C-alpha cells in the first residue's frame, strides 16, 4: 500500500513539473511575441529617423557642392576682371609713355631719343619711323631744337584681345636755338597699341584735331 502511495505521489509530482514546464514555455512564447510586437511597432519610427538623417545629409552635401562651385566661379570672375584691368593699364601706360617719347626730343641727345621711340614701336609705325628717323635727327640738330611733352589726358577708346586704341592729349613746350621760348602747344594723338609678349608697343600714330 505504501508503495502504491509513493508511486502515486511521484506521478503527481511529475505531472506538476510537466505543467510548470508547459506554463513556463507558454510564458516565454508570450514574452517573445511581446518583444516582436514592440520591435514591429518601433520599426516605422526607426525608418523615419533614418530617412530624415539621409535627407539632412543629402541637403548638407548639396549645400557644400553649391558653395564650392560658387566660390570657384566668383574667384574665376575676379581673376578675369583683374586680367582685363591689368591689360588695360598696360596699354594706357605704354600709350602715355609713347606720346612723351614722341614729343620729348633734345637736339643734344637726339640719337638716343629717337632710339627710345623705336624701342617702343612695332609694325607699320616702326617701319615708317625708322626710315624717317635719320633726316629728322639732322633737322633737330641743325635747329638746336628741344621739346618737352607732358601728357594732360589719356583714355582707352577701344580694346580687343591683344590690341587697343588710346587717345592721348599732350602739351608740348618747344625751344629752338637762340629764339624765345614758345607757348606750349596742345596736341592730340590716336595711338594703336599691339601686345608683343609681355609688353605692348605702339603700332600706329595719328594726330587728330
Q: What is the mean pLDDT of each run of 10 residues along the chain (209 residues)?
A: 41 43 44 46 56 76 79 72 86 97 96 96 96 94 95 96 96 86 91 94 95
> What's the confidence (pLDDT) of residue 123?
95
- Domains, in order of start, for the chain: 93-207 (3.10.450.540)
Looking up cell 607732358 gives 150
> What's the confidence (pLDDT) of residue 37?
44
Q: Is the CB of residue 165 less than 8 Å from the CB of residue 192?
A: yes
Find all residues with CB under 8 Å of 90, minimum gap 6, and list them. Answer: 195, 199, 200
* Cα–Cα dist 3/7, whole Å: 6
> Does the global pTM surpass 0.75?
no
Looking up cell 514591429 gives 40
Q: Compute φ and ψ for 183, nearest 5 degrees.
A: -70, 150
Sheet holding 163-176, edge to edge: 105-106, 145-160, 163-176, 185-196, 199-207
> What's the confidence (pLDDT) of residue 61?
79
> What's the confidence (pLDDT) of residue 54?
78
Amino acid at each position: 500500500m505504501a508503495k502504491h502511495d509513493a508511486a502515486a505521489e511521484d506521478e503527481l509530482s511529475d505531472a506538476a513539473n510537466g505543467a510548470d514546464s508547459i506554463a513556463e514555455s507558454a510564458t516565454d512564447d508570450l514574452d517573445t511575441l511581446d518583444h516582436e510586437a514592440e520591435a514591429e511597432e518601433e520599426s516605422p519610427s526607426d525608418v523615419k529617423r533614418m530617412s530624415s538623417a539621409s535627407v539632412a545629409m543629402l541637403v548638407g552635401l548639396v549645400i557644400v557642392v553649391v558653395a564650392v562651385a560658387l566660390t570657384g566661379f566668383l574667384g574665376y570672375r575676379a581673376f578675369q576682371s583683374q586680367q582685363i584691368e591689368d591689360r588695360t593699364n598696360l596699354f594706357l601706360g605704354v600709350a602715355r609713355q609713347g606720346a612723351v617719347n614722341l614729343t620729348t626730343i633734345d637736339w643734344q641727345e637726339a640719337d638716343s631719343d629717337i632710339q627710345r621711340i623705336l624701342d617702343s614701336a612695332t609694325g607699320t609705325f616702326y617701319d615708317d619711323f625708322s626710315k624717317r628717323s635719320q633726316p629728322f635727327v639732322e633737322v633737330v640738330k641743325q635747329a638746336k631744337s628741344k621739346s618737352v611733352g607732358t601728357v594732360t589726358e589719356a583714355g582707352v577708346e577701344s580694346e580687343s584681345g591683344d590690341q587697343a586704341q588710346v587717345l592721348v592729349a599732350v602739351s608740348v613746350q618747344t625751344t629752338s636755338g637762340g629764339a624765345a621760348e614758345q607757348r606750349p602747344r596742345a596736341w592730340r594723338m590716336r595711338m594703336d597699341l599691339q601686345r608683343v609678349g609681355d609688353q605692348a608697343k605702339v603700332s600706329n600714330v595719328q594726330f587728330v584735331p
